[in-house]
Chain A
C-alpha cells in the first residue's frame, strides 16, 4: 500500500473528524508518518531481519593510526563490520571508552588480525588505518516520507518496503487515533474537565511511549499502543 493509499484509508475513517477539524491531506500525511515512526521500533523488535541491510563502504579518510568511513544515510545501528583478513572475519564494535583503551594498548587489538571500530554519529572509525574497505551490516531506518507514491507495506522501493505488511492496519488505526485525539483536543468544552484531562493524559502517554529508548536485545514487544 502506498503512502497515498494510506492517507486515503485514514481520511475515509475520519469523516466526522474531518468535517469538524478539516483533516486535510497534508495533516493526514503527518499523522501517517507519526504512526510509522511509532511502529518502527515495534516492527523492528518483531522482525529484525526486515530492517537488516549490508553495504560495502570505502575508507573516506585516515590519520596515522585510524581510518574513517562514512555511514549510510539510512543508518540506525551497527550489527557487524566485516573486515577481510581479520580473525572471525570482523572488527569488534566497541564503545567509545573501550575504543580509547584499545588505542592506548595495542595488545588488546587495533591490528590487521584483530581490528576494532567505533561508531560516531555519522562515521565509523576503525583501527588499523590500513583497512581500506569494510562490509557494514546494519539496521536501517527512514525519515519523514513526503513522496506519496512511496510504497509503505509492499515491495516496490527497489525492494524496500517501509514496514512489514502485518503492521499496515495498526499504522492506519494509530493515524486515525491521532486524528481523533487532535479533534478531541480542539473541542472547546470547559465543563467537561475530566474528559480534557484524560485526553491530555493520553497524549502524554503516547509521546512517552513513542520516545521510549529502543533496546534491541532481550526487549519485549509492547502489547498496547
Chain B
C-alpha cells in the first residue's frame, strides 16, 4: 500500500487528470441532455468560430424583416450548387450555414446570425481552478468527476506493465466516448437539419 508522502505527483498532472475527468463527464452529459449545455452567440459570416467551440448544435437563425429563418446545414460539396442553381439558391428567406477555415460561413454571404453551439468547459490548468460543480457542471456530476480523476491518477501508482495496460484501456474508453459524442451530434442533429423545416423557429 502506498501512502501519500510516497507518491510523487506533479500539480500539473492532478490538474490535467481532473480536467480530463471533467471533460469526459461533460461529454456524457451533453449526449444525455444537450439542452443544458447549448449556448448562443450572435456572429457574422466569415468570423472565426468562438474559441470555446466544440460542435455545432444544429440551431442557427437569421432574422430577416422581423421574421426568423433557420439556416440549413450544408456539406462543402453543396456550396457551388447552393450558390448558383436557381432551383436551390440560398436566399435571405432560405439561408444555409457551413463551416470552413474554422470560421462560420453563411449563404447568401454576409449574414449576421444567432449560432447555437456546445462550448467546451473552462480550462483548469494554467489558471485559477473553477468550481467545476457549481460554475460549469450539474451538481450531480461531482462524484463522477472525482471518481474518474482518482482513476486517472491511480495509474501513477501501478507498476510499469499494469500502467501500460491501463493507459491502453483509458485511451480506448475516451475514444469510444468521443465516437458516441460526435456521432450523436453529427448524425442525429446535423443530418436531420437537411430538411428545411427543422430548426428553432
* Chain A interface mostly: helix
Give Cα distance in the complex from A172 to B55, angstroms. Answer: 22
The stretch that binds A, out of B8-16, B37-45, B133-141, is B8-16
Q: Select which of A9, A80, A181, A221 is within 8 A of B179 by beta carbon.
A: A221
Contact between chains at B100 and A52 (CB < 8 Å): yes
| Interface size of A in residues (CB-CB distance below 8 Å) | 52
A26 proximity list for chain B (CB < 8 A): none
With A173-B174, A224-B172 as known contacts, state yes or no: A9 contacts B16, CB within 8 Å. yes
CB proximity to B under 8 Å, residues A38-68: 42, 46-47, 49-50, 52-54
Contact between chains at A12 and B85 (CB < 8 Å): no
Chain B contact-residue range equals: 35 or more
A225 contacts chain B at the CB level, 8 A cutoff: yes
With A177-B168, A223-B172 as known contacts, state yes or no: A47 contacts B12, CB within 8 Å. no
State the A residues within 8 Å of B (CB). 8-9, 12-13, 15-17, 20, 42, 46-47, 49-50, 52-54, 79-80, 82, 86-90, 137, 154-155, 159-161, 164-170, 172-174, 176-177, 180-181, 183-184, 195, 221-225
The 12 sampled A-B contact pairs (Cβ below 8 Å) are A52-B99, A86-B80, A159-B102, A170-B174, A170-B178, A172-B16, A177-B164, A181-B164, A222-B175, A223-B172, A224-B172, A225-B172
State the B residues within 8 Å of A (CB). 8, 10, 12-13, 16, 20, 23-24, 27, 48-49, 51, 54-56, 76-77, 79-81, 83-85, 98-103, 120, 155-156, 160-161, 163-164, 167-168, 170-172, 174-176, 178-179, 181-183, 186
